[in-house]
Chain A
């Protein structure tokens, strides 16, 4: 019986030693990380400020009052990721998230990436909170770097997932019903204008009216979710700190302008062709 107790005692002592060793190793890894990051963090005080590397640390973040931390670029919400898990915003509620130009990001990959990166960010944030008094700017730089890294990782995976699809159907424009309707309407209007209207009015006046009508009609057509292509421009804008929402809106405007330009080209082309055909058959002279 005693031998059994001794045995359990020895096991628990061994476990204790193992736990001690594990903590020591963790502390060492923390030191190594600090060295890599280039932080000149002092040894933490023993009066309650000491932290273990395994503790959750974002609660310290909430107590932060330093002014630089509010205006820090690292506080910029990542265009692809919401803030750390402890933050108030959720994934779906984040406007940047909803307006992300990468809407069809593959879910499992995103989850795993977010897991990795959020963990890293959380750790860094906790560390920052602890060492703000000592060294602000290296931490801020690190945070900024992490935020950029998040974006870069997202873009990389997005580009990787998009690549096969783009290879399959490169340079082929998507034709949703509204687009076809617009083009057909422009062509018909051009013929009509050439036959009846152009003698009295500039040809661009009916076209502008038609475009206004299209703007009003667009809401009656089913909304087609267009796959936004992640271009080098998008990537560059994202990495230079412009929020995804702004980029997405700009891309949307750009697409609308492209649609109007396509309509105008179809309209003008049809007008000129009809004019030439009418001239050819000699029905009328300009």
Chain B
């Protein structure tokens, strides 16, 4: 049964890899949101700045210059602080994206290598060799089993078909 489902296992793995590749930006955004603790602080700062600006607009610059200037300085200070926060958050996001990409590609490579390792000598499925003549050796590579469909051939075919299918959907 396990040998009979080898083709499906490879197909499923390739499908998952391709799906993950499409979802990578979403995953990295989600993870960076999870990791960042000071997102609330940032929104508080934004609200504070908005409130101060509103307050400043209600003050007459001529009549209450000292208060106006104090508020202005406070707004500038908070804005600078917010800018620093946003910069650090963006840098962290980029870093997270990079890490997620690297981890994904390492996992994908590991999965592919393990699949090739596992099915190096066993074909993923077998059909009568005359059906796939005259390229039965190429299709069976690296197993050498007459009429077998080798892991490399099946990986290539699955990858192409899934890429086509996903691009049609998206």
Interface readout for A263-286 with B: 1 if CB under 8 Å, 0 if not?
A: 001101100100110000000001
A175 B168 Cβ-Cβ under 8 A: yes
- Which of B26-34, B36-44, B100-108, B132-140 contacts its partner? B132-140
Give the contacting residue for B125; candidates A171, A266, A275; CB below 8 A.
A275
A175 to B166, CA, bound (A): 12
B7 A272 Cβ-Cβ under 8 A: yes
B163 contacts which chain A residues (CB < 8 A)? 173
Given contacts A202-B133, A265-B156, A286-B128, contact A171 B161 (CB under 8 A): no
A173 contacts which chain B residues (CB < 8 A)? 163-164, 167
Given contacts A172-B170, A275-B125, contact A269 B131 (CB under 8 A): no
Give the contacting residue for A265; candidates B126, B130, B135, B160; CB below 8 A.
B160
**B127 interface residue per 8 A CB criterion:** yes
Interface readout for B132-163 with A: 1 if CB under 8 Å, 0 if not?
A: 11110000000000000100001011101101
Chain A at the B interface: SS class? helix
B161 A265 Cβ-Cβ under 8 A: yes
Give the contacting residue for B160; candidates A172, A204, A261, A286; CB below 8 A.
A261
| Cβ-closest chain A residue relative to B168 | A175
A272 B160 Cβ-Cβ under 8 A: no
B170 contacts which chain A residues (CB < 8 A)? 172
Interface readout for B64-101 with A: 1 if CB under 8 Å, 0 if not?
A: 00000000000000000000000000000000000000
| Cβ-closest chain A residue relative to B130 | A202
Task: Give min CB distance, A41 to chain B, whole Å.
Answer: 54
A272 to B168, CA, bound (A): 21
Chain B at the A interface: SS class? helix
Task: Give min CB distance, A273 to chain B, whole Å.
Answer: 8
A275 to B148, CA, bound (A): 13
B161 contacts which chain A residues (CB < 8 A)? 265-266, 269
Give the contacting residue for B164; candidates A266, A275, A276; CB below 8 A.
A266
Task: Give min CB distance, A174 to chain B, whole Å.
Answer: 9
Given contacts A172-B170, A269-B158, A276-B7, contact A203 B164 (CB under 8 A): no
A268 to B170, CA, bound (A): 23
A266 to B37, CA, bound (A): 47
B157 contacts which chain A residues (CB < 8 A)? 265, 268-269, 272
**A238 interface residue per 8 A CB criterion:** no
A276 contacts which chain B residues (CB < 8 A)? 7-8, 125
A59 to B118, CA, bound (A): 74
A175 to B164, CA, bound (A): 10
A202 B164 Cβ-Cβ under 8 A: no
A171 B131 Cβ-Cβ under 8 A: no
A183 B167 Cβ-Cβ under 8 A: no
A26 to B76, CA, bound (A): 54
A269 to B157, CA, bound (A): 6
A sample of 29 inter-chain contacts (CB < 8 A) reads A171-B167, A172-B167, A172-B170, A173-B163, A173-B164, A173-B167, A175-B168, A198-B131, A202-B131, A203-B131, A203-B132, A204-B133, A261-B160, A262-B160, A262-B164, A265-B157, A265-B160, A265-B161, A265-B164, A266-B164, A269-B158, A269-B161, A272-B125, A272-B127, A272-B154, A272-B157, A276-B7, A276-B8, A286-B128
Please give 14 more A-B residue pairs, beta carbons under 8 A apart, in addition to A202-B132, A261-B160, A276-B8: A172-B167, A173-B164, A175-B167, A183-B164, A202-B130, A203-B131, A204-B132, A265-B160, A266-B161, A269-B160, A272-B157, A275-B127, A276-B7, A286-B126
Task: State the B residues within 8 Å of A (CB).
Answer: 7-8, 125-128, 130-135, 149, 154, 156-158, 160-161, 163-164, 167-168, 170
For the complex of A and B, 10 pairs with smallest distance between CB atoms: A265-B160, A269-B161, A202-B133, A173-B167, A265-B157, A198-B131, A269-B157, A286-B128, A203-B131, A172-B167
